[in-house]
Structure 1
Amino acid sequence: MNINNPASFDEAMSHFDTRVMLENAEEQARARHYEDFLIVDVDSHHYEAEAMNEIIDRIEDPVLRENSRFAKGLNLSSGGQGPFGNQEMTGRITRYPGRKHEKVPPTPHRDITLTHRWMDALGIDIACLFPTPMLGLALHPQLHVEVQLAHAYNKWLCETILAEDSRIKSMLYLPLTDPEAALRCIEEFGERPGVIGFMVTSTRYRSICENVHMKVYAALEERGLPLSFHSGYSWQDPLLSASTKFITAHALGFPIYNMMLMGNWVMDGIPERFPKLKTIWIESGLAWVPFLMQRFDNEYMMRSSEVPALKRLPSDYMREMFYASQPMEMVNNAEALELTFKMINAESQLLYSSDYPHWDMDLPSTIFDLPFLDMQAKRAILGENARKLFNLDPQLSAAKLAKKVSYTQR
């Protein structure tokens, strides 16, 4: 395959199949006997841009709807890269360009079929699906666009995907920049099948702790719906724009945005105001959490008068929160990772996530193969913690049950 020859590349991609692409991952899952494990992936992605015409049809504002049809979608990239993207790794990972060529049956919806294919290959029973380009929507200069598109996307996802398949769940996009619109989202979609919570994108520059947001958090707490903060990056950020390479902007951007939100969330006393509201911090790795615990506790001990709402150390609140595992910093320092697990109470607070299909995705083996975890802890992190948090049906997938039967028959 010559990636510099469009005809050659398109011909190769015409035979693309997720199941073939993930053969090694499926073999790995089989070797580790995941058939006995409930595995819940709390952070996976689809490319909603492929269904943008369906989503645009659900935009309520007729002017924005027609403008979006004319423009064939909206530019939602948060990376500030224009047409020259870096996430794709220049053809070395073909999950991105190959997907649009992959052949699927007419029913169910294309996204359901493709999602099942990668879930079955990885050994995933239940997956929480997030959008991808829309993760940068909070940076859009027009608040109206964020609100309208968030509502249209949530409506499309609930009607087209979640209502049709019990293995696919989602924490819906919450347009928190507009508290009234966010409250409407919770009231309209909070009880829909497959909705297990709501997600706030971390790439934003507006406060999330002002009093106008409290009714949103109260509505979530009332309904027992967790709130997640899904991080990202923006190379256009004044700080990150000093990065000379994408790897720097990517490595720092994801933790930085969640660190800022975490700081405000804790220091403004939101956990004290809403003690039953569960929060999840997604796609920013884990290494930043111990750093922030130590840093905040140290500052707190010197100037606790500045944060009178806090009744405990900042780290005490952070240890009660939930964290998604990906991308787990596990290269060359198992001792540091083990200490990180201890500091965040990983056996009860860590949730496995793959971040599929992104280039830095983590297979379930990143948890299963950790030498310092016993089997009970592995089961908890891979699925049981999420099952309890989201009150999920613990049933294994049909594909996994079939494998379990085949092992029994051997």
Structure 2
Amino acid sequence: MKIFSSAPEFDLENPDFNTSRHLANARMQAERRGLDKVLVVDVDAHHYETDNLLPIIDFIEDPVLRQSALNMYQYKGAASVIYDQPGMQDVGGRIHRYQYRKHENVDGLVGTERDIGQAMRWMDALAVDYACLFPTPMLFLGLHPQVDIEVNMAKAYNRWMVEEVLPRTDRLKSMLYLPFNDPQATYEMVKKYAGKKGVIGFMVVSTRYKPIHHNDYVKTYALLEEAGLPIAFHASYHWNDQLISQANKFITAHALGFTFFNALHCANWVTNAMPEKFPRLKVIWVESGLSWIPWLMQRLDHDYRMRSSECPGLKQLPSDYMRQMYYTTQPMEAVNNREALELTFKMINAETQLMYSSDYPHWDMDLPTVIWDLPFLSEQAKRRILGLNAVEVFNLDVSDRYPDLTAPR
């Protein structure tokens, strides 16, 4: 396959792309640090459902939408079926795996088996034992103008994941996509799939304008709490959002977009006393990095001390509730300011509340070494963040790979 550049002499061609070779340095890091003997659970990994979209389209229940999606797929390609918007995730083609991996020969496998085989390659390279798999282009559906598109795509994707992917391997898990723009469909999704093999929770794409504290979602949260399953709010960006569209560079749209929506929803969750209403519901904030958390803690505590009458349901400071929530590592900022990062870890009780995520195969992915190499963490803290916290949060059975391991309590 050829990737065209600004001039023919800069064109790239790699007909034999192989994920294992592509991640050779990651494998070397894992071996040098002995990470193959450390439980690693990747709480946020991705695949491109558009690489294998036809089987998912077949699961769309609405026959009119199914035919429309099929026609659009044949005419415009996979991404346009879901939602097109400007983006520069592949940095103008300079991150090769975005295009090459579509044509990778995975031991002759095709379709769903190929998706699983490709996942095993990158997981083995990173020393990841288990991974929670999320879709990618579907993360734009939160701002889709047609609610029934989000609902039908969620139904089709989740059914494909539960029936075709999760039964075939114990190493892949999923927090299923919730069509949050339709509260009733969201509730029915949890009711249908809670307890299914490999389903370890449910995920809401944060890039949307629905207030997550609204009464329409109370019965869904109650159902999740009763089932003992967490809810994750997965950040994303949307360059067509009215606020973010003021950014003329992708770097700005990405840096702010992936942070802003989760910060807003988290603030609303706390100030509307949702932790008091659902004290046993585990809440996870995914792919926003960490730097926004101390900022929001301080801002909310500051205002709460002056305006606590607006939040009569709170019995603690906002930051106290935030320290009881869970966060994923990626993308972990402040690589040149270890003091700030160490303070952030302390403020969020990282040893018990932080869970490793790679975000592979995205351009800003993190290897497990971003945690293992931190000098201010004890080995036990590293092991908890890399895997043991996830075992506890998701009640994971890891006995097939670590028969003597028990979750921390």
- Which TM-score band (shorter chain)? over 0.9
In the alignment, what sits opposite 1:16? 17
CA distance in 2, matches of 1:8, 1:97: 19
From 106, 110, 119, the equivalent of 2:109 is: 106
CA 76–275 in structure 1, closer or farther in 2 if over 3 Å, else same: farther
CA contact (8 A) 1:78 1:234 kept: no
From 341, 347, 350, the equivalent of 2:351 is: 347
Deviation at 1:304, TM superposition (A): 0.5
Q: Write the deviation string for residues 153-183 of structure 1: whole angstroms up to 9, x where unpaired.
A: 0000111111111000000001122111011
Q: Which amino acid aligns with 1:235?
A: W
CA distance in 2, matches of 1:319, 1:177: 28
Which one has more relative contact order, counting CA pairs under 8 Å at least 6 apart?
A: 1
| Worse-matched range after superposition: 39-48 or 326-335 | 326-335
**Is residue 2:320 matched to residue 1:316?**
yes
Q: Which amino acid aligns with 2:16?
A: H
Q: What secondary structure, in the 3-state scheme, does the structure 2 residue paired with 1:127 have?
A: strand
**Is residue 2:90 matched to residue 1:88?**
yes
**Is residue 2:216 matched to residue 1:212?**
yes
Deviation at 1:130, TM superposition (A): 0.3
CA distance in 1, matches of 2:210, 2:90: 29
CA contact (8 A) 1:174 1:182 kept: yes
CA distance in 2, matches of 1:204, 1:112: 30
CA distance in 1, matches of 2:238, 2:82: 9
Deviation at 1:94, TM superposition (A): 1.0
Deviation at 1:35, TM superposition (A): 2.2
CA distance in 1, matches of 2:161, 2:218: 26
CA distance in 2, matches of 1:258, 1:278: 16
| Worse-matched range after superposition: 70-79 or 227-236 | 70-79
| Worse-matched range after superposition: 184-193 or 15-24 | 184-193
CA contact (8 A) 1:76 1:133 kept: no
**Is residue 2:185 matched to residue 1:181?**
yes
CA 74–15 in structure 1, closer or farther in 2 if over 3 Å, else same: closer
**Is residue 2:122 matched to residue 1:118?**
yes
From 73, 80, 83, the equivalent of 1:75 is: 80
Identity of aligned residues (%): 56
CA contact (8 A) 2:328 2:355 kept: yes
| Worse-matched range after superposition: 105-114 or 155-164 | 105-114
Equivalences, count: 395
With the length of structure 1 as denominator, give the TM-score of the two structures. Answer: 0.93
Q: Which runs of 4+ in 1 moved over 6 A?
A: 5-11, 76-79
CA distance in 2, matches of 1:344, 1:36: 27
Q: Write the deviation string for residues 75-117 of structure 1: whole angstroms up to 9, x where unpaired.
A: 3777831xxx311112221111011110123377111000000
CA contact (8 A) 2:3 2:12 kept: no
Q: Write the deviation string for residues 221-260 of structure 1: whole angstroms up to 9, x where unpaired.
A: 0100000000011111222111121111111111101001
Q: What secondary structure, in the 3-state scheme, does the structure 1 residue paired with 2:13 have?
A: helix
In the alignment, what sits opposite 1:358? 362
Q: Which amino acid aligns with 1:37?
A: V
CA distance in 2, matches of 1:8, 1:357: 27
| Worse-matched range after superposition: 112-121 or 178-187 | 178-187
CA distance in 2, matches of 1:330, 1:280: 21
CA contact (8 A) 2:43 2:356 kept: yes
CA distance in 2, matches of 1:347, 1:279: 16
CA contact (8 A) 2:27 2:126 kept: yes
Alignment of 1:4-403 (within 5 A): 4=4, 12-72=13-73, 73=78, 75=80, 80-81=85-86, 85-104=87-106, 105-106=108-109, 109-395=113-399, 397=401
CA distance in 2, matches of 1:173, 1:95: 25
Q: Which amino acid aligns with 2:205?
A: T
CA 67–128 in structure 1, closer or farther in 2 if over 3 Å, else same: same
Deviation at 1:12, TM superposition (A): 3.0
Q: Write the deviation string for residues 119-145 of structure 1: whole angstroms up to 9, x where unpaired.
A: 000000000000000011111101111
Q: Which amino acid aligns with 2:98?
A: Y
CA contact (8 A) 2:79 2:137 kept: no
CA 322–253 in structure 1, closer or farther in 2 if over 3 Å, else same: same
CA distance in 2, matches of 1:264, 1:99: 39
Q: Which amino acid aligns with 1:38?
A: L
In structure 2, runs of 5+ residues without a counterpart are 403-409
Q: Which amino acid aligns with 1:162?
A: L
CA distance in 2, matches of 1:283, 1:78: 21
Give the root-mean-square deviation of aligned CA atoms. Answer: 2.0
Q: Which amino acid aligns with 2:41?
A: V
Deviation at 1:331, TM superposition (A): 2.2
CA contact (8 A) 2:174 2:198 kept: yes
CA contact (8 A) 2:4 2:12 kept: no
CA 7–216 in structure 1, closer or farther in 2 if over 3 Å, else same: farther
CA contact (8 A) 1:13 1:101 kept: no
CA contact (8 A) 1:76 1:137 kept: no
Deviation at 1:9, TM superposition (A): 9.8
With the length of structure 2 as denominator, give the TM-score of the two structures. Answer: 0.93
Q: Which amino acid aligns with 1:46?
A: H
Q: What secondary structure, in the 3-state scheme, does the structure 1 residue paired with 2:384 have?
A: helix
Q: What secondary structure, in the 3-state scheme, does the structure 1 residue paired with 2:365 have?
A: coil
CA distance in 2, matches of 1:80, 1:102: 26
CA distance in 1, matches of 2:361, 2:395: 26
